[in-house]
């Protein structure tokens, strides 16, 4: 393996997280082949370690391992997409309902601060940050609701949502702005569980309704540019 002199080898968790982030932030298109040799050079890691990380990503549904061909970023079908949004509605409505009861001042502050960061990203046209912050908002809901099981499930569903949006989102439609997230926070702060459920349902339905089966997949940048340290 040809490693650059002085380049720090990435740890397995770092490799996993960088690949997960690149997929979740829609920098790598569904269907993209992930070559072990190329990833080995990018991360200064052995192919055996890269193979193990890819197997972990395959277990989580982000990668598809094809015998005799290699690893590819998964390409969810529209039926799978509908199932993902169904699961998200079920989980996230439960989370906001719980949070309406358990939220404290510190939690409210975290949510408010996060929505403000989303506003700044949108104001500056920082699409990559907006995508990352949007997913992080939903994970923060799970974290504050103190449900590790639902948080783990939701993390997987959010990454799958990114694949779905990369494949099917209409070209002239952008991610939902922070206003919908702010409305969710307002209902949680008011401890209005009924409204919180309705707002979250509307928000996820809004995202799902942006899907368009005729949309071409996004263009993929060079993996070295996306993943390199």
pLDDT band at 172; cut points 50, 70, 90: low
Per the domain annotation, does 89 fall within a domain?
A: yes
Looking at the structure, do residues 37 and 67 belong to the same domain, yes or no? yes
How far is 45 from 121, CA to CA, in rounded Å?
34
Looking at the structure, do residues 17 and 100 belong to the same domain, yes or no? no
Per the domain annotation, does 190 fall within a domain?
A: yes
Looking at the structure, do residues 168 and 221 belong to the same domain, yes or no? no
Per the domain annotation, does 132 fall within a domain?
A: yes
Structure pTM? 0.73
Task: Answer yes or no: is pLDDT of 182 > 90.
Answer: yes
Task: Answer yes or no: is pLDDT of 3 > 50.
Answer: no
Looking at the structure, do residues 142 and 64 belong to the same domain, yes or no? no
Report percent pLDDT > 90 for the chain: 55
Looking at the structure, do residues 89 and 160 belong to the same domain, yes or no? yes
Looking at the structure, do residues 115 and 189 belong to the same domain, yes or no? yes
Looking at the structure, do residues 36 and 139 belong to the same domain, yes or no? no
Looking at the structure, do residues 33 and 96 belong to the same domain, yes or no? no
Q: How far is CA 110 from CA 28, 117, 124, 174, 185, in A?
A: 30, 11, 21, 25, 10
- Provide mean pLDDT across the span 200-222: 71
pLDDT band at 43; cut points 50, 70, 90: very high
Looking at the structure, do residues 201 and 115 belong to the same domain, yes or no? yes
How many domains are contained in the chain? 2
Looking at the structure, do residues 137 and 44 belong to the same domain, yes or no? no
Task: Answer yes or no: is pLDDT of 59 > 80.
Answer: yes
Q: Kindly report the CATH number assigned to the domain that includes residue 143.
A: 1.20.120.530
- Provide mean pLDDT across the span 169-175: 60
Per-residue pLDDT at 27: 82
Per-residue pLDDT at 229: 52
Per-residue pLDDT at 216: 47
User: Who wins on pLDDT, 170 or 145?
Assistant: 145
pLDDT band at 1; cut points 50, 70, 90: very low
Q: Kindly report the CATH number assigned to the domain that includes residue 17.
A: 1.10.10.10
Looking at the structure, do residues 122 and 32 belong to the same domain, yes or no? no
Contact 66, 31 (CB under 8 A): no
Per the domain annotation, does 2 fall within a domain?
A: no
Per the domain annotation, does 22 fall within a domain?
A: yes
Task: Answer yes or no: is pLDDT of 2 > 50.
Answer: no
Per the domain annotation, does 170 fall within a domain?
A: yes
Retrieve residue 203's tokens. 């928000």
Contact 57, 16 (CB under 8 A): yes
Per the domain annotation, does 1 fall within a domain?
A: no
Looking at the structure, do residues 37 and 86 belong to the same domain, yes or no? no
Per-residue pLDDT at 126: 84
pLDDT band at 89; cut points 50, 70, 90: very high
DSSP-assigned states of every residue in 18-53: HHHHHHHTT-S-TT-EE-HHHHHHHHT--HHHHHHH
Task: Report the mean per-residue pLDDT for the chain.
Answer: 86
H/E element, 193: helix 193-208
Q: Domain residues for 49?
A: 12-75+217-227
Per the domain annotation, does 140 fall within a domain?
A: yes
């Amino acid at each position: 393996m040809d490693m650059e002199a002085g380049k720090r080898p990435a740890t397995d968790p770092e490799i996993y997280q960088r690949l997960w982030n690149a997929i979740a932030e829609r920098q790598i298109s569904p269907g993209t082949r992930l070559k072990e040799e190329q990833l080995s050079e990018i991360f200064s890691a052995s192919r055996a370690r890269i193979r193990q990380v890819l197997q972990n990503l395959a277990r989580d549904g982000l990668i598809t391992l094809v015998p005799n061909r290699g690893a590819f970023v998964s390409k969810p079908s529209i039926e799978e997409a509908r199932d993902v949004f169904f699961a998200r509605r079920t989980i996230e409505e439960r989370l906001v309902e719980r949070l309406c009861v358990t939220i404290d001042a510190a939690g409210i502050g975290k949510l408010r601060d996060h929505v403000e960061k989303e506003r700044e990203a949108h104001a500056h046209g920082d699409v990559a940050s907006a995508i990352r912050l949007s997913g992080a908002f939903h994970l923060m809901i799970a974290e504050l609701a103190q449900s590790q099981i639902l948080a783990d499930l939701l993390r997987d569903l959010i990454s799958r949502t990114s694949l779905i949006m990369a494949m099917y989102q209409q070209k002239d439609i952008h991610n939902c702005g922070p206003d919908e997230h702010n409305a969710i926070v307002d209902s949680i702060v008011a401890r209005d569980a009924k409204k919180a459920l309705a707002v979250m349902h509307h928000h996820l339905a809004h995202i799902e309704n942006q899907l368009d089966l005729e949309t071409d997949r996004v263009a993929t940048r060079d993996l070295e540019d996306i993943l390199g340290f």
